[in-house]
Structure 1
Amino acid sequence: MTTERKQVNDVCLPTEADVEFFDRNGYWVSPAVFSEQELAAIRDRQDRIYRAEFETGRAPICNWLEGVDNPRALRKTDNSHWSDAVLRGVATDPTIGAIAGRLMHADTIRLWHDQLLYKPGRGPGRETANVGWHQDFSYWQCAKEPTLITAWVAFTDVDLSNGCMQMVPRSHQWGLLKMSDFFEQNIEQQRADMDIPEQEQFTTVPIVMKAGQVSFHHALTIHGSGPNATDDARRSMAVHLMTGETRYAQSQRGDLHFNARFMQGRDGEIFDGDAFPVLYGAPGAK
C-alpha cells in the first residue's frame, strides 16, 4: 500500500438519501474504500505494531504486546498512526474524511484519534472479547459538543459469527446516557439495565460488512459487539473524527482523555494543530 496521499473516491460518497438515513438513524455503511491489496499491507502492519516494530520509532498509546499481554483478550491500540505510515494512511484517508464531512454537514473533518482493534478467534480460556454497549462521546468529555463521528474500517469480513458491531438506531437522539462501558463483558445484563428514554426501544442492527468497507456512526450512537466464534481474528480500525468546529472543554473529567494534553490552557478553543490532522476540507474552509 502506498503511503502517498490518496484522492477522494467519489463512488464511495453518500447520496442525499444516505445522509438522511444517517441523520435519522445515527449510522451508515459505505462501499469498499480499501482494496484487498491495501488490506493485506494494513494487516501486516497491524501485526508489526503488536511486535513493537514501530516504523516511525514512536510508540502508540496503550498497545497490546505479543508475548506479554493476554492473547485471548480484545486488543485495543490507541493512535497507531503515530507509529506506522501505512496505518496513518488509513486514519487520515481523504475518502473517509469526505464521507464524514457529508454525514456531519461539516466543511472540515479532523482526526480525533484512531483505535487499532483485534478480536481474537475462539480458543481456550473464558474471555469473550465482547465490546460493551457504549456511546463514544461518554469518553470524550474534553469536547464541548458531540460534533464527532467514528469511521470503523473492516480489515476482514465481519458478521455476527465473528462479533461484528451492532448499532442501536436513533440512539444518537437520546442524549448522553449514564450506562456506557466499552469494556463490559456482560452485554445482555448491561442492555437490561440501560435507562433509555420513555417510548423508545433498544433495538439492534448488526453491521455486516465485507473487508474494506467502512461503517460510520455518530458519537452518541449506542453500539457494541459480541464474541468472535470463528477461528480467525476480527481485525479493524476505529477512526475517530471531529468536525472543524469541535472545541475543547476543560474539566476534571474531560481532562482524563489523552487528547486534552494538547489543549491545556485553551478552554473553549477549537481543536487544531499537528495532533489533529485534516482529512477533509471543502473549498474555502479554514
Structure 2
Amino acid sequence: MNYAALANFALDVDSIIAEFSEIPSVTVRPDEVPPGCEDKNRYSNVLPLPETRVPLKRIGNDPTTEYINANYITGPGNIRNYYIACQAPLSNTVVDFWRMIWEQNSRLIVMLTEYMENGVEKCYEYLPPSEVSDNKRTFGDYQIILKKREQRDKYAISSVQLINLATRTWREVTHLWYFWPAKGVPDDYDSVIDFLSEMRSYMKISQTAKEYDEEGVEVIYGDQNRSSFSNLSKLRSEDSSSGNGLNVYSPAKAEEQLRRGNVTNGTLSRMKAASEVESMYNNEYYKWKSE
C-alpha cells in the first residue's frame, strides 16, 4: 500500500472492519497466571502471554516475585524484545515495576494513561508529583527523583534519576507521558506525531547510553492504549526501510499473535486514527525532505 492509498484507506470504514476481523484473538486463561499472583493483575481479562512474559529475578524462594503483568513486544525489523508492554502499576506492583525497569535496563518509559479517570484509579502514582517541592519517592530498594519536567500542550517529558539503594548505583530514565483521553483517541493528530518524534529521539539517546551498559528495552504502558501506540511507533520506525509501501496492520496482527488478545487492540476508531496519524506523518516527512 502506497501513501496515497493509505490516506484513502484511512477513510474506508468497511476496509478497516475487514482488516480488523482478520486479527486473531485468543485470550489467556486465568489458570495460566502463576498461583499467588492473581492480585498483581489490574483486570482479570487482561493477562500476559506466558511465552513472552517479562521474568523478574526471583527473590529468595518465593516464585511469585518473578511475576509481572508485562510482555516483550517485537519492534521494527522484527527485532524481538524491542519493547515491553506493561500494565500500569498497582499499589502492590509498583516495586515490581521499578525492579523491572532496573533489571531490564530500560531508559525510556512511555505512559499513556491518567492516574485517575472519573474517580477510578487507572495507575498508581509511581512518580513524584513535582521537581521542586516533592521530588522524591522510595519503593522498596528503589528511589525515584524527579529532576526535570517539561510540559507540552498534550504531553510531558520528565528526567528521572533511578537509584538502586541496595547497590548504591543509579541511572537516568526519560519519562514521556501523553495525556490520552479517557474515551476514544486523541483528536489532535499533530500532538501524537510530535510525541512520536520525541519518543524516537529519546530512544536514540537511550540506545547510545546503553552501549556502555547491558542492553535494555523500552517500556510502554497504558493498558487499553498501549497496543495502539506501540503499533504506531513501529509503523513510524519502519517507514525508512519499506520503500514506498507501508503495511498498516501487520504490526497489530503480530502483536496480537504475541499477546493472544490479552491487551485490547482498540476500537475501530483507534485503528482509523492510527492510519490517519501515519498518513499525516508521512505527508509531513516528505514535505520536510523536499524543502
TM-score (norm 1): 0.34
> Which protein has the larger Cα radius of gyration, Structure 1 or Structure 2?
2
